[in-house]
Amino acid sequence: MSGSKEDAVREVMAHFQRQNIIQMATVEGDQPRVRPVTLIHLDDELYVITGARGGAETGKVRQIKENPKVEFYMAIQGEGGQGFVRGETVASIVDDPEFKERLYGEIDWASNYFDGPEDPSYVLLFMEPKAFHYRKPGEYDIVQVEVS
C-alpha cells in the first residue's frame, strides 16, 4: 500500500458499510472472549450497540471496563478474492444522551432490543481505532496501518 498514512486509513475505512457484522474479542481474566456484533460506521467513527441482555452488566461491557483494549475481525470480499480488516481499538462507553438518541434513531433494529435511547440496558460503545491489519482482497500481504 503506497501513499500517506491518511490515505491508508481512508482505504481501510472505505470497506466499512453503515452496519457490519464483525467478530469482536475482549478478555476475561486470561481468557479471550469472541462474539459476533454489529459494528456501526457513522461519521468516520466506529461504534457497537450492546447490553440487550443485562445492560452495563453484560459480560463484554464488564470485560471492557476491566481492559478496554478490544480487537475485531471483519472479512471483506472484493474483486480477486477475500481479504480482511483486523482492528486494534480502545473501547469506551458513550454517555452523551443526545448522541445515543441520534444513533438509536438511525439503527432500525435497535428498537427490537431496547425500549428507547434512555433504556438502561442500551449501552453504546465507541471503538477508537489504534491500528488496522489489512489484507486487500486478492492480495497476500498483510499491511499494518497505524491510526494514532
| 60 pLDDT above the threshold of 70 | yes
* Homologous superfamily, domain 5-146: Electron Transport, Fmn-binding Protein; Chain A (2.30.110.10)
List the grid coordinates of 91.
473501547
How far from 43 is each of 2, 13, 40, 46, 101, CA to CA, in Å?
25, 11, 10, 8, 15
- Over residues 31-55, the mean pLDDT reads 91
- Residue 3 is predicted with a pLDDT of 75
- Residue 1 is predicted with a pLDDT of 58
DSSP codes joined into one string, 106-136? H-GGGGGT-SSTT-TT-EEEEEEEEEEEEE-
Q: What distance in Å separates the CA atoms of residue 49 and residue 84, rounded to the nearest whole number?
A: 22
Residues 6 or more apart whose Cβ sits within 8 Å of residue 109: none
- Residue 88 is predicted with a pLDDT of 98
Q: Report the share of the chain in percent with pLDDT over 90.
A: 85
Q: Report the share of the chain in percent with pLDDT over 70.
A: 98
| 63 pLDDT above the threshold of 90 | yes
6 secondary structure, DSSP code: H
- Residue 4 is predicted with a pLDDT of 86
| 15 pLDDT above the threshold of 80 | yes
Q: Are 86 and 139 in contact (CB under 8 A)?
A: no
| 2 pLDDT above the threshold of 80 | no
62 confidence band (pLDDT: 50, 70, 90): very high
**Residue boundaries of the structural domains of the chain:** 5-146
| Poorest-pLDDT segment among 29-33, 57-61, 98-102, 107-111 | 57-61
Q: What distance in Å separates the CA atoms of residue 144 and residue 61, rounded to the nearest whole number?
A: 27
Average pLDDT, whole number, for the chain?
Answer: 93
148 confidence band (pLDDT: 50, 70, 90): confident
Q: Are 148 and 139 in contact (CB under 8 A)?
A: no
Instruction: Give the phi and the psi of residue 110 in degrees, each rounded to 5.
Output: -60, -35
* Strands 45-50 and 81-93, bridge-based pairing: unpaired
